[in-house]
Structure 1
């Protein structure tokens, strides 16, 4: 009679459960948000230096959590978040360039149309720049790891990958991103829709095009940093900048109290840019597929 006890069943079931995309998505989101919330809260209680360090520490720990969740639970490598300095810097700088061009064009058009008056009025510029840069880099890292890192890729895998999976992931993460910003000061139904269309779709398209989270983080961070330094509310949050921007005219042009994201100008520009990125992603996917077919023929 064989009396051997199977001691591997329960751990195997647990591993299979944690390896399910829905499981590692939820674990990753909760862990990243929780760690960032603790770092931000502790940092803000320690003044300016604490705020800066807390934001940056939250971003660093979020990166480590993301890589741990993906390698240990999802069972995959993380080429989309390389730690090779040159490759990471190249992606982040390209994203920063796209973000700067996007915000510069959006703000410039609103100024030309009479919607914004921007007055240079720096107060303690070194402190202002340090806080705006650190806080917005930390926020961009956390938000992109949650939405385009964990959630996007989990939904994509749950949907079976391919064009259908990518489309579903893009639509759902954009909708969730817009919904999350409905909790911000001054938010309206329109601002939530606008955030989903411009930021959610644009960052999702940028990720599909590049498969590089550093690029998306650079785009997101630069977007928010420039708004903050110009004195424009960032999704309803207005802090000290190097300039003071006063809005004139209808909110559909200026974004009103919510800030630039609720203006129709960046919505239109982002959809044009997103369409170009999605076309580029489709061409790259077709070229890759043709290469695979040629290799296996």
Structure 2
């Protein structure tokens, strides 16, 4: 069963002290483009999360957001660097005295200076890391299920469109049955009208006719197109279908459809070929979102 590259999942895990919420969203992409937003105190877990995401998600433009909420709001609160604050405050006061400014809010200005206010440097305990990964795996499970559900919709649509192309090919085969005899009759009439029936060398005429009709023969293209369509449907139902593999098969289908149109030399067949191309373009658009 195919998977969609579009996905969404959330996971939540908590204990008495902390609650972690993980959100995973993805759109289609040729490669894995992973963006993580983590609280600063668990930034050292980014590599582990990236490695696991690469195994589970495979491809797509993916955004992962991790939110931590503490029962004790001061657990990860900010702290003031008093030494740096005093240094900035002293310098600002001296500058204010030099220019005669007595109304500046030096306290507020000093607090806004770089690195004066920062987060507490605390190590994340093992229990908290377990909670984080529990939420992450729950989000992954929901995310992958979303992809599978979307994949079922895509699979049904792709199957229908390939079957439509095969139905159009059946229409081509019906038209093609009368095409060659009509071409033969038309060429004979033109030749006789041009030089007269008694002046036609029938042996030479037959040789030239065989060469010309061989250029218009589409038997091989019909066989290959039906084979590619069957292979596409087979690959669609395989245990581990690949969007890239299906894309390659659709390219081969396109080559045969184009050749059918160019060699047919028949208005009815060319109209059917246009409808085939419309279905194939829709297939290619859908395949952009297949994992």
Confirm or deny a common fold (TM above 0.5).
no
The two structures have a TM-score, normalised by structure 2, of 0.27
The two structures have a TM-score, normalised by structure 1, of 0.26
Higher relative contact order (Cα pairs below 8 Å, separated by 6+ residues): 2
Give the number of the structure whose residues are more often helix, by fraction: 1
Give the number of the structure whose residues are more often strand, by fraction: 2
Greater Rg over alpha carbons, structure: 2
